[in-house]
Copies of this chain bind each other. A is one copy, B any other.
């Protein structure tokens, strides 16, 4: 369960009652839109799915040192966020997740090719259509390496997560005999982390996807209730009230380095859902305390256009500050204190300093980082985003602006026009 604390935004907020009422109505309105399969996904996921995912993951873990995840946008950010949050950053054993097809860098692809040449690997290619430029190009490049290494047995090492009924990737998967997983047709990319899109790579990395789904189920049951304390309504109402009051940028301040890609996932979710019709809070993020020593000056005294959402997780890891005889740098006043304790104090001091400096601070607190709490957090943000976007008067589930550059690119590349 995520807890919200709006006290450090209160002087910037109007009376929240009317906003909360509007947020509750927005919550009711969600099912009237298309692409809302994510809304009841946690409670309606077929019990067989985790079995299938775990079976595939077990096979990958048995025969592959690397699972290469080929996907872009919502087809990789959720898995990458979960991996960073839940797997050790250093020296973790087991199957390594690497990501490709989320860009067009030749050097990045060349390095990956060299790295994979000497390692057993499998591919999880994730695309509804199979024809998005970046992942399609990467799939050709890395499938060739698979063929080089494993010959006719290459298809056994490909897991295609794609549409259940149509598309080029589905066709290839059937023809070549890839293992298949289905992206539900009523779930958009940025809301797909709790489908096989996110779950298969997570399971391959050793994450307990049943626990993640259980956490998301608890979230669905809790956050769809229109209670007074529903944190989804509070977060959505507060950020939209601040936006209406003139704030233009939302900074997600994450108090652990491993949240960096959760923030990237969050940016897509909110940016793509709300950024249309000339509207929307510009999503940005900070890693704290690190970025107090880079963006701290701006947050305190720059343009007053930001609200800041501080995301924290309960944590109490072991290292404490040692006592040093002679106190050479005056740090003995912290001796015996755990870093996590000091981190919490830094949070309180920073939140208060920013609020006093003209930046309203919303606080989101989650329990300790586990598969279940991360599942809960994903659902929390998905629902908050849908409510928020509806509150601001835009459709949360389309992305009408992403075609423009593609049309220009296809024209410049000479893509044949379909007749």
Contact = CB atoms under 8 A, between A and B. Distances in A.
The A contact surface, by secondary structure, is: helix
Contact of A290 (B103, B279, B318): B103
A256 B107 contact: yes
B294 A275 contact: no
Contacts of A349: 405-406, 408-409, 411-412
Given A321-B140, A321-B141, A405-B349, A279 B256 contact: no
A329 B295 contact: no
A106 B282 contact: no
A393 interface: no
B339 A293 contact: no
Interface string A346-359: 10111011101100
A317 B107 contact: yes
A369 to B, nearest CB: 8
Contacts of A275: 295, 297-299, 301-303
Contacts of A305: 248, 282, 305
A282 B295 CA distance: 9
Contacts of A400: 297, 301
Contact of A248 (B77, B248, B274, B299): B248
Contact of A106 (B73, B338, B353): B338
A319 interface: yes
A112 interface: yes
Contacts of A140: 321-322, 324, 331
Q: Which of A278, A324, A328, A416 has the most chain B CB within a 10 Å cutoff?
A: A328
B339 A106 contact: yes
15 contacts: A105-B339, A136-B329, A137-B321, A140-B324, A172-B329, A272-B295, A275-B299, A283-B298, A292-B405, A297-B399, A300-B404, A333-B413, A346-B409, A352-B408, A353-B404
Given A140-B322, A141-B321, 8 more contacts: A91-B114, A104-B342, A171-B328, A268-B295, A271-B294, A301-B400, A301-B401, A349-B406
